[in-house]
Structure formats: C-alpha cells, structure tokens
A and B are shown apart, each in its own frame.
Chain A
C-alpha cells in the first residue's frame, strides 16, 4: 500500500495578502486583489489593471531592476520553513526542491537608459533565488524548476507528490512563484490579446464564468508547501492530503485551448486513476477559470467528459476573479486555496461572477459560500500552448 502524502505548512504571497493568516482571511472574505497598476508606470497603457502582491494591505515595493518573483519566493520560503517541524525531521540529503517559475524578469527601463547595453545584464536569474533558498534551508537533494507556463507550479506539486509516494523518506519544497508585472511581460500578454479590457472598476476586471467575461488580469505572488509522507509529517502542519496527479497536452493549436476539453479531461481522469477513486467521489472542482472567452467553454466541456450528466451539479470555483492570473505560480496559490476550502468545508463564490454564462452549464457558486461535506477537491490548470495539469486533494482526517 502506498504511503499517504501531505501538503504540510504554507508560505504565501498574494494580491490579497501575504502570510497564511492574511491570505486565508482574503480568500474567505472575497477581498478584491485587482486594482490600478502601480509597480511601474502603466498609465499610458491600453489597460492598466493588475493584481499586485500585498502585505498588510500595501503593495510590496520593488524597483525596476528587481525580479519580483524572486522576492516572493524568498518571502514564502521563510514563512514556510522557519520553524517547520516536519522539514526538520528529514536530513538535508532527503530534502528536494521542485518548484514552478516563470519567464525571467527583464529590466527594460535600465536597458533602455544604458547607452551601450548588453541585454543579458538586464535579465533576471530566478534560479539564483532558488539556489539561495536551497542553501538557506538545507536542500542537498535534487532540484527542478518547472517553467511550463500556467501549469508550472501544478506540475511541480504533482512531481513532488509522485516522488514522495515512491520514497516516503523525502520532503520536497514545492509550489512556485511568478510575476509578470513588468513592461516587457505586460507587452507580451497584450500581444497575445489575453488581457481584460474592462473599462470600469479594476477590482471587477476579471470575471471567471461570467457571461461578460473579457480576459485576464495579470497577478503575481508565490505559494509554497512541503510535500512529505506520513512517515515524516507533523500532524499539526498538515493542510491536506494529495492523492492524485495527471498531466496532458492538447496538441491542438498554438493560440487556443482545445474547445472540446478532451485532454484536459484526460489529465483529470488520470489524476483520479492515480488516486484510485471515481469521478463520483469528487465533491467540487477548482477550475483554471481565467475569465477569457475561450478557456471556460473548454473547461465546461472537460467537466462533462469527466463527470457526465453530473457535471452541471458539481460546484466549481475560480480564484482568479480575486487574485488575477499568477501564471507560473497560479497552480501553487490556487492549490493552497483549494486546501483551505477543504479545511473549511466550503465552496466559495467566484469573485466577479455575477451573471454566469448559461452556455457553460456549470454550477458556479453565487452569493453566499456553499457549506457542504467535501472530501475530495479536483484542481485543474491549463497553459497557453496546450499543457494541462490536475491535482486531487483529500481532506486530512
């Protein structure tokens, strides 16, 4: 029999607060994370909504040259690992780091103002931050930085789960960090036509599942946890059990997800098979839910492939209406939110979904939180380019 594997402890930096207590309160109270862009001057950009990482209600400051995701990674690691009892039980050789990340930061302002620039000098190095936390917290085992865009952190957590299940003596620092809030990366998402062009209150710019959804809001942050087995986990630090993982590729189109959701469903079914449970055992689904016109229909079709006629009855949720799209970190922060909902036994209303798109046929929780018995949560993420990933979490009991 396979050993049980857990998510133990949290380190989180997010647009609705940093540290577990702030994040928990932000999620449970539906505090909006999206506002006017402030970490760089975006006042002349076509749209300037952003979900910037905050601590104590204030945007975490940095200068143009600083790679914000590296800051967030280090903040989250210190929150998670300072005083982590389960981590201390594992020798350094048994500590691994499998982390998600994003495209390297680029200091465009510095490069532009340099009369004779070498562009390489202005490029960030996320791996240096990874190496720094590995050194600080005694990771002498293997390391991997997954940059599979919007599924990077989800895949990192999945790989961590599989390795710990195979070798229960390991403890794996996992999750991810990302920030695309810089002029160059903003430009990239603008070019992809992915950004919300909502003209009203920026807090309402991202509307997952809504009939008026109009695109993503770029977010930033980090979510970290320690993946470890029942052999080394400290019960008081267990957030949730992780029981299944799957990943797949659409192999469809460069620009769009497969509208049928075939492979997205496949990876979810693989995660269920990995866990040895059936679709009817899943109580709710935390979807990718970007708030774009094309993502949600693909996810709705995937839901029907996974659950059949039950798809319209399974409560679904997306955190992105609240925190925006954290890209390489979204799977990590959203998995922590899914684990929180498992602990609280609640499916929260998706922030900014006020008029659910009837063509989706999904059960989006509206108004009040839905309190229910939740044993299994399915977490789905999908990436531009067609990568999909699924995690299955079980209530710790």
Chain B
C-alpha cells in the first residue's frame, strides 16, 4: 500500500535542511527546491531503511520565484545607455554571482542531492512539468518493489510545495491525468495527520 508525505513552506519560512543532512558541508549546494525535496523524502522514510537500488523519480514545475542573481548579472552587464553589453557581461556580469549558483539552476540537483544523502543508486529520472510525465518514467521501471516518487512546486508567492510517495509500479495509474502533486498525495491515501497543509 502506497504511502505519501506532503510538505509546504511559505516564502520566508526556513526549511529545516540541516536536520536531515549527514554531510553539512554540502548545504551550500542546496536551494529551497532541493532542500524541500530532501526534507520531504527524509520525513516520508522517517528512519525506515530502503534498499540502495530503490528507484527515485522526481518532477519539477517551472521556477516561479527565484532569480538566482539575475538582477546582479543585469546590473553588471549594461552599458552607459542601459542596454546589454557583451563586453561588460564577460568582464563583470558573469563574475557577479557565485559559481555555486549553477548547482541551484540545474534541474537534476534535487534528485541527485537526495540520492547522495540517502545512498540511493537505482533507476531514476527528473521530469519537467507537474503532470503525468513523472508517472511515464516511473512506470517504465523493472523494479518490483516500492519506488520513491516526488514532485516540487515553486509557487509565484515564494512558497514551495513538495510531495514524496512510496509506491509500487502496479499502483501507478497512467490513465489518470492532472496535477502530479495531487496524484501522489492520493496514492498515499492523503493522510492529513502526517502532513502539513498549505496555508492559503
């Protein structure tokens, strides 16, 4: 029987990443999207051991609230007329943000960072779009046991919603369309006692 966990954080609300990080030096690689993914999976598993080869599949929606230093790059890439200058970009703009920013831009970081923390080495995928795309990848697995399926929504108001579920391939209904976060929540019977609800 599938289980699921839902977590939601408001724009300014801290995500308790360090409670779940074994290697705290890696915190610098996390943005809120990756932090939310790790926390929701860790809380789903709640200390329960899973096989290292347990598959993990993750879906991401559009990034709606963070600019990852775009404003700084813009300010350092304009000429005196206020328009784009390839020369200023090369000399100043591209150096105005930390190289660590790149780890926060890559779509596969939530999945990869979670795999490193949890020691997961099995089948995997990262899909873009909060739709059936995640289920398409997960249903292609040959794994007979439970898989970890997750999704992250970055809301325009700066909040973030994350769902993680443990489900077997035969519990996935590919005919079901809709919001993947709701599909994953319903897989686990939408246990409201175990999850924090979105505050409107």
Residues of A within 8 A of B (CB): 40-46, 64, 96, 98, 101, 103-104, 106, 108-113, 115, 117, 119-120, 123, 126-127, 142-149, 152, 155, 158-159, 162-163, 183-184, 187-193, 246-254, 263, 266, 274, 383-387
Across the interface, which residues of A come within 8 angstroms of B141, CB to CB? 162
A96 to B, closest residue via Cβ: B136
Q: How far is the CA of A106 from the CA of B125 in the complex (A)?
A: 24
Contact of B125 with A146 in the complex, beta carbons under 8 Å: yes
Please, could you name 19 A-B residue pairs with CB atoms under 8 Å apart, sorted by A?
A: A42-B86, A108-B70, A108-B89, A117-B74, A146-B126, A146-B128, A146-B137, A147-B107, A147-B108, A148-B107, A155-B125, A158-B140, A159-B137, A189-B102, A248-B121, A248-B122, A251-B115, A263-B121, A385-B108
Inter-chain contact count A-B, CB under 8 Å? 181
Q: How far is the CA of A123 from the CA of B70 in the complex (A)?
A: 12
Once bound together, how far apart are the Cα atoms of A163 and B142, in whole Å? 11
A110, A148, A187: which contacts B94 (Cβ < 8 A)?
A187
* Chain A residues with CB under 8 A of B174: 142
A148 near B116 with CB under 8 A, answer no
Q: Is B124 an interface residue (CB 8 A)?
A: yes
**A43-B86, A119-B70, A254-B29 known; A386 and B116 CB under 8 Å?**
yes
Cα–Cα distance between A249 and B56 once the two chains are bound (Å):
9
> In the complex, which residues of chain B have a beta carbon less than 8 angstroms from the beta carbon of A101?
128
Evaluate contact between B126 and A147: CB separation under 8 angstroms.
Answer: yes
- Tell me, rounded to whole Å, the shortest Cβ–Cβ distance linking A38 to chain B: 12
Q: Name the B residues within 8 Å of A163 (CB-CB).
A: 136, 139-140
B103 touches A254 (CB 8 A): yes
> How far apart sit A98 and B102, CA to CA, in the bound complex (Å)?
26
Contacting residue for B124 out of A64, A104, A190, A387, CB 8 A: A387
Contact with A along B16-44 (1 / 0, CB 8 A): 00000000001001000000000000000
Give the size category of B's interface with A.
Answer: 35 or more
* Shortest distance from the beta carbon of B34 to any chain A beta carbon, whole Å: 10
Q: In the complex, what's the smallest C-beta–C-beta distance from B137 to chain A, in angstroms?
A: 5
* Cα–Cα distance between A385 and B26 once the two chains are bound (Å): 13
Contact of A149 among B64, B83, B106, B113 (CB under 8 A): B106
Partner of B67, one of A46, A119, A127, A192: A119
- A109 engages B133 (CB within 8 Å): no
| B188 touches A (CB below 8 Å) | no
Evaluate contact between A155 and B102: CB separation under 8 angstroms. Answer: no
Query: Contact at A109–B84, with CB atoms within 8 Å?
Result: yes
State which of A46, A112, A120, A248 has its C-beta within 8 Å of the C-beta of B64.
Answer: A120
- Which chain B residues border A183 with CB–CB below 8 Å? 86, 89, 94
Most A-side CB within 10 Å, residue of B73, B105, B122, B125: B125
Bitwise, B99-129 to A at CB < 8 A (1) or not (0) is 1011101111101110110111111111111
Closest B residue, CB atoms, query A184: B73
B194 contacts the other chain (CB 8 A): no
Structural contact, B124 and A145, CB atoms closer than 8 A = no
B128-A147 in contact (CB<8A) = yes
Nearest-CB distance from B92 to chain A (Å)? Answer: 11
